[in-house]
Amino acid sequence: MKEQEALIATAEDRLSSLEQELYTELLRKLNDGVPSLQSVARGIAAIDAAAALAEAAVLQQYTRPVIDETQDILIREGRHPIVEPGMKGGFVPNDTVLSSSDCQIQIITGANMAGKSTYMRSVALTVVMAQAGSFVPAAHARIGIVDRIFTRVGAFDDLASGQSTFMVEMIELANILNNVTPRSLVILDEIGRGTSTLDGYCIARAVLDFLHGKGASGPKTLFATHFHELASAENDLKRVRTYHFAVKDTGNDVIFLRKLIPGATDRSYGIHVASLAGLPGRVITRASALMEEFIRGEGAGGPRVQRYTQMLLVDPPPLVEHPVVSDLKKIDPDQLTPRDALEILYELKQLAGERKRE
């Protein structure tokens, strides 16, 4: 009995020892064949990847891209290779024209959920797939060789290092601006949204000017933004073009058409999207009322807020000129005597005091 008890007590230790011996022996035998096994694994992986891309190309009707030495990206009826298979109602394709000589930068505006981010990602993925040797999700594609793809999308912070969402965004943006080349593709989604509206707009516009540059070419850039004032850059920068995603507003509902069309828009439909997300009705009603106040110039901040926010649906009311300014414009200083000037000064001072009390 004691012998059996000893065998049982030491069985687990002997089992572990035996397993270790067998494992060591297996590694010793395989060691000589590791290079061959790795070579076979790489071959199988390459075949698997090629087969997967070929299957996707057949099932999703991809096309063979043309790769050339230009700095242009021309995609007709491009689609997102990941999103498209899961779309029950069908994926709405969009064209892309990025040219170093004409349309180097696309400023993309439009409603929340209209498809801006999906579109930009689809362009980047199409470029990656084309340069990897794959067919691409488009009716036609001509891709000028791209050396790097830079992206600044999403909103993340780094609590461990004490970096805010905006700081992380700026660090990533700095990396892009310091390393970009004329052959790069840059994807920027909502630059400057992590700070005040005015600061964010100024940073976004400065980045836009930097990427456009003063030379004959610059990096091809897709620049999505809710700073609708940036659309005016098309008038100042010759290789900037504005686009937006079409929306059908029926008055009671908003339908996202997912189609990229030329021109800018000044509406984001953020309150409508908030309603779709399930915010309480009281919040939506209050938000709509506040928007109406801002439109009329009655909200907190008045015209200043209206000037720098993206939610304006109509032009703000014209500013009323101060009476003192009006009176000063009527004065001809060359016709005044010293006594007249002194009397006018007292009158203006009195008028300014009355205006201040109002």
The verdict on 140 and 168 lying in the same domain is yes
The verdict on 142 and 170 lying in the same domain is yes
User: Does 59 reside within a domain?
Assistant: no
The verdict on 291 and 337 lying in the same domain is no
User: Does 73 reside within a domain?
Assistant: yes
User: Does 27 reside within a domain?
Assistant: yes
Return the structure tokens found at 209: 């000017």
Helix runs in 145-278, H state only: 165-179, 197-212, 233-236, 270-276
The verdict on 125 and 204 lying in the same domain is yes
Distance CA 282, CA 288 (A): 10
The residue ranking higher by pLDDT, 328 or 189, is 189
Lowest mean pLDDT among 78-92, 141-155, 296-310, 312-326: 296-310
Task: Write a three-state SS string for 257-299.
Answer: EEEEEECCCCCCCHHHHHHHCCCCHHHHHHHHHHHHHHHHCCC
The verdict on 109 and 47 lying in the same domain is no
Q: What is the mean pLDDT of residues 63-78?
A: 96
Q: Which of 224, 246, 267 corresponds to the end of one domain? A: 267
The verdict on 306 and 174 lying in the same domain is no
Task: For residue 80, report the phi and psi dihedrals to the nearest 5 degrees.
Answer: -90, 120
User: Does 144 reside within a domain?
Assistant: yes
148, 156, 193: which is closest to 172 by C-alpha? 156
Give the chain's domain count.
4
In this structure, are residues 71 and 184 in contact, taking their beta carbons and an 8 Å threshold?
A: no
The verdict on 212 and 331 lying in the same domain is no
Q: What is the DSSP letter of 313?
A: S
User: Does 141 reside within a domain?
Assistant: yes
The residue ranking higher by pLDDT, 147 or 158, is 147
The verdict on 305 and 156 lying in the same domain is no
Task: Look up residue 259 and give its amino acid.
Answer: K
Q: What is the mean pLDDT of residues 253-281?
A: 86
What range defines the domain where residue 336 resides? 323-357
Which CATH number characterizes residue 170's domain? 3.40.50.300
The verdict on 197 and 97 lying in the same domain is yes
What is the model's pLDDT at position 308? 42
Distance CA 333, CA 335 (A): 5
Instruction: Give the pairing type, strands 105-109 and 220-224.
Output: parallel
The verdict on 38 and 106 lying in the same domain is no
User: Does 235 reside within a domain?
Assistant: yes
How far is residue 56 from each of residues 67, 94, 95, 181, measured CA to CA in Å?
20, 19, 21, 32
Distance CA 136, CA 53 (A): 9
| Percentage above 90 pLDDT, the chain | 45
| Percentage above 70 pLDDT, the chain | 87
User: Does 57 reside within a domain?
Assistant: no
The verdict on 211 and 299 lying in the same domain is no
Q: Is the dihedral of CA 145, 185, 86, 46 positive or negative?
A: positive
The verdict on 302 and 241 lying in the same domain is no
pLDDT at 303 over 50: no
Q: How confident is the model at residue 305 (pLDDT cuts 50, 70, 90)?
A: very low
User: Does 128 reside within a domain?
Assistant: yes
Q: What is the mean pLDDT of residues 277-291?
A: 90
